[in-house]
Amino acid sequence: MQVLEDTTDTTVLSYWLNWRVFMCWLLLMMSVFIAFILLWKYEYSGDDDDDSTSDSKAECWHLWFNEAWRPCVKEVHPIWLMAFRLVSFFLLVTALTSNFVVYGSSLFFYYTQWTFTLVTMYFGFGSLLSIYGCYQYSKESNDFIDHKWMDEKQGLDTPLIGTGFSNGIKRLVDYPNPQFVPKSAGLCGYLCQVLFQMTAGAVMLTDLVYWFFIFPALNDHGVSFLTVVSHTLNTLFLGDAALNCLPFPWFRIAYFIFWTAAYVIFQWFVHAFESVWWPYPILDLSSEYAPLWYLLVAMMHIPCYGFVAMLIGVKKIVLSRCFPTHVAFSDKIQTSFQSPC
């Protein structure tokens, strides 16, 4: 971690009352406004549309609870995803604690550590869901075996009949074993998905900026072992993305935008009351190129988020072709490419 010295006084009124700050503020507010519009249109307003439109929207982003802890291939036991998440969480907590001991609270002045903390939170929360999911998986597997034996003995081999999306799971008719129908995700399931998508964009933005822009400009004294470890451990997230079967709707890039906007506002608030160094030169509002830098970072959110979406799309296509009857998301592949989500 390298401290960048800056002699500009950020507490004086003249630093903030100029066209550069106004343009940067306008870019920030426009980004947040667009994010709100996306959430309002696709996340919260489904009930206001007609049934066909509502079903079309819900089909692309609806989350079943077992998708938060189930691997993308049905034959892979959920315990493997749980083990990966637990080991990753342990490594991340160890690195985060080591960084805090060495650098103190100034550590969280950097977007890198905000992202690293977010990744740690995701793996911690995901580990809890995976532990619960493995328990449910084991319990329901045993119940299913017992119930199937009883049905075969009584000659009650009744198929699943229903209408709506997801192979008849939305509306069930005359199904004798409703306890085996996947449950819709509650608050915990959707919170896990939001953390997953917000972390995806933040990890790509952090590592892209560091490895391609900051790292080449650093000298040998500016590179610390813990900093390199932190940026390297971020890639554990890609491993989780390859293993899980969480959907990745486009409109939740809004949460990623909120995350970055919160960091920028935090930096502005701190510098308005105390004249301290800027952790990243591109945040310095005294530069005449500040609006261009802010615009560039804002635009980078799209390819950073889109790159992860592309990787997940490729994963689904490859697995659906190699294991057409064994993937856990085969019923959503077509929708994910045709919907506005």
233: its two tokens: 């451990």
- The DSSP output letter for 178 is G
Residue 17 falls in which region: left (phi positive, over 0), alpha (psi -120 to 50) or beta:
beta
Name 270's Cβ contacts closer than 8 Å, sequence gap at least 6: 109, 276
Please report which residue ranges of 4-110 form alpha helices under DSSP H: 13-16, 19-39, 51-61, 78-103
pLDDT attached to residue 170: 39
226: its two tokens: 């813990």
pLDDT attached to residue 221: 53
Q: How far is CA 229 from each of CA 75, 105, 149, 189, rounded to the nearest angstrom?
A: 33, 18, 52, 30
Residue 181's SS3 state is: coil
CA 317 from centre of chain: 20
Torsion, Cα 258 263 264 265, to 10 degrees, reads 80
> Which amino acid does the sequence have at 149?
W
Please say whether the beta carbons of 69 and 130 come within 8 A: yes
**Tally of CA atoms within 13 A in the half-sphere of 60 that contains its CB:** 21
Write down the pTM of the prediction.
0.80
- The DSSP output letter for 187 is H
Given the structure tokens 């034959």, which residue do they identify?
75
pLDDT attached to residue 87: 96
- pLDDT tens per residue across all 341 residues of the chain: 555 555 678 999 999 999 999 999 999 999 999 999 999 998 876 544 454 444 444 444 567 778 888 898 888 889 999 999 999 999 999 999 998 998 888 888 999 999 999 999 999 999 999 999 898 888 776 554 444 434 444 443 434 333 333 333 333 444 444 444 456 667 888 899 899 999 999 999 998 888 777 777 776 555 677 777 888 888 899 999 999 988 898 999 999 999 999 999 999 999 999 988 898 888 999 989 999 999 999 999 999 999 999 999 999 888 888 876 656 654 443 333 333 33
Show me where the domains of the chain are located: 13-338
Which residues share a beta bridge with 244?
71
pLDDT attached to residue 203: 93
pLDDT attached to residue 251: 92
CA 112 from centre of chain: 16
Q: How far is CA 300 from each of CA 202, 271, 294, rounded to the nearest angstrom?
A: 11, 24, 10
